[in-house]
Structure 1
Amino acid sequence: MADPRHIVLLAQYNAWMNAKVLEAAARLPAEALTADWGAFFRSILGTLNHLMVADLLWLRRFRTHPAGYTTLDPVMALPPPTRLDEALYADLASLAADRQVMDTAISQWAACIRPCDLNHVLAYTSSTGTACARRFGDLIVHFFNHQTHHRGQVTTLLTQAGQDVGITDLVALIPDEAP
């Protein structure tokens, strides 16, 4: 079950991991970023683009929640995707700049979520055109899980390209509360 405290933690983890992945990717030549590594979205840049596409789709949907979430307005100014495999960014630098805007908005949005917001049933249209209605808290869990799933793929591709991302475990951000 989603909890506002957990959502804030996941937003922090999201920004931390995206920064680590982008830092590792920036050490590679452009050819390595666009090479077909056999992944679902083929390349490192292709997978990073997919993460941006999916985040844009979900955050645009989340903006329609009755709570308003005006903290997501900067995301609304980013280019709207039309396909899940769309290459919104041809290079890492432009993707990284918008990723920073996105991650800042996600962190600010996460801090605004109230427990009463989570049970709202959010109606939206899927990328295939299907009408859907799902509990908002569950969609938030999916949102962060999707990011972790594809970042795991990128981390593997970066490792294959000779770049170590370092520690990737969420527990690294959970405060130690030992007496």
Structure 2
Amino acid sequence: MNLLEHTRLMADYNRWMNQRVYAAAARLTPEAVTQDRGAFFGSILGTLNHLMVADRIWLRRFAEHPARFAALEPLRGQPAPTDLRAVQHDTLPALRAAREQLDATIADWAGEVSEADLDHVLVYTNTKGALWRQPFGLLLMHFFNHQTHHRGQVTTLLTQAGEDVGGTDLLELILARPSAESQG
């Protein structure tokens, strides 16, 4: 498996896990979703908002890649969020709808990335105004790892609230996909 295949797998995993997390959160009351649970971003909704903010920040940066990914065109020219705690949506249904749209964008974009794009050094400014230069391929790995990290936090918060997300391992998604070996 190469980094491009991994990127596409992680985009699928992102969407699959977000569907499971949001379904579990939707079984809670709005008060339970917004209750401060002592997590870094406070509540389940606060942590899900952070994920949305961070994804938009990174995708906005990725939109400036010379490959000019068509799926990211709507983000080009838009200001990226600057506050990692910004509330994108204050209700779970609104955030869920936005998340579904963003996950579709991520899947489309992941399908556009080519091998030639990976080594490009992306120049960007972080939320504190510092200028950074990093290989795009490494930033892709960070992008998906960050999602997994915070979804793990949300899964814990959901479990504490009495909701089971079910299995969260990437292996579950891998096993559910048809493999080259099983296709003969």
| TM-score, normalization by structure 1 | 0.94
**Cα root mean square deviation, aligned:** 1.8
The Cα of 1:72 is off from its aligned counterpart by 1.6
Secondary structure of 2:122 counterpart: strand
Matches for 1:143-158 after TM superposition, within 5 Å: 143-158=143-158
Q: Name the structure 1 match of 2:122.
A: 122
One-letter amino acid of the structure 2 residue matched with residue 132 of structure 1: W
Q: Name the structure 2 match of 1:32.
A: 32
Q: Is 2:99 the partner of 1:99?
A: yes
One-letter amino acid of the structure 2 residue matched with residue 26 of structure 1: A
Q: Name the structure 2 match of 1:55.
A: 55
1:77 to 1:45, Cα distance in 2 relative to 1, 3 A: farther
The Cα of 1:74 is off from its aligned counterpart by 4.2
5+ residue gaps, structure 1, are none
1:128-175 deviation digits (Å, cap 9, x = unpaired): 110000000000000000000000000000000000000101011224
5+ residue gaps, structure 2, are none
Identity %: 55
One-letter amino acid of the structure 2 residue matched with residue 24 of structure 1: A
Question: What CA distance in whole angstroms lies between the structure 1 residues aligned with 2:103 and 2:109?
Answer: 10
Q: What count of residue pairs does the alignment treat as equivalent?
A: 179
One-letter amino acid of the structure 1 residue matched with residue 55 of structure 2: D
CA contact (8 A) 1:75 1:105 kept: no
CA contact (8 A) 1:35 1:43 kept: yes
Q: Name the structure 1 match of 2:134.
A: 134
Q: Name the structure 1 match of 2:172.
A: 172
One-letter amino acid of the structure 2 residue matched with residue 63 of structure 1: A
Q: Is 2:105 the partner of 1:108?
A: no
1:120 to 1:20, Cα distance in 2 relative to 1, 3 A: same
